[in-house]
Amino acid sequence: MKTLLLFENHPPELEDAFKAASVAVRRGGGIVCLCCLPIHCEAYDVAECWHEPMETIKKTALANSLEVEVLFRFYEARRALPERLGAGDIDLVIALQGGGSGNGSSVRPVFQWNRRKEAPCQCALLQIPRAALKEGKNK
């Protein structure tokens, strides 16, 4: 089974990409990076700003002999995630959470499953606050 790393709107920082990939590598299987961007990004060359984080994830996975699949979707994660989960080879989704407004006291999930409108999520969903990834720097 594979681990899906879900990124929405913005590429992760390199260190965050490495840490998320490291979690997936410890699980084994393979890694799928699902990058969901606003539709207006399709007109721009998004590959440039996403290149380094995706290369970091690929190097981490390939160093451990895991396959990596990188997908770009120009629509929201709530639509893109169920499409990719349909293949049946994902058993964990890891989504980084973005910071809230201003002081950083609130955290906004990068992906929220709307149980009223959508079918239930078919695998485990782990949302990691970016602050938790940063805590490793201070230790």
- CATH code: domain of residue 77: 3.40.50.620
Averaged pLDDT for residues 114-138: 59
Q: What is the mean pLDDT of the chain?
A: 78
Beta bridge partners of residue 96, listed in sequence order: 128
Largest CA distance in the chain: 42
Count of domains forming the chain = 1
46-71 per-position pLDDT tens digit = 667 888 999 999 999 999 999 999 99
pLDDT of residue 96: 74
Range of the domain at 46: 2-138
* Phi, psi dihedrals of residue 31, rounded to the nearest 5°: -125, 135
91-121 per-position pLDDT tens digit = 999 987 654 444 443 344 445 555 455 555 5
Residue 122 binned pLDDT confidence (cut-offs 50, 70, 90) = low
User: ∠ CA(5), CA(71), CA(137), 5° rounding?
Assistant: 35
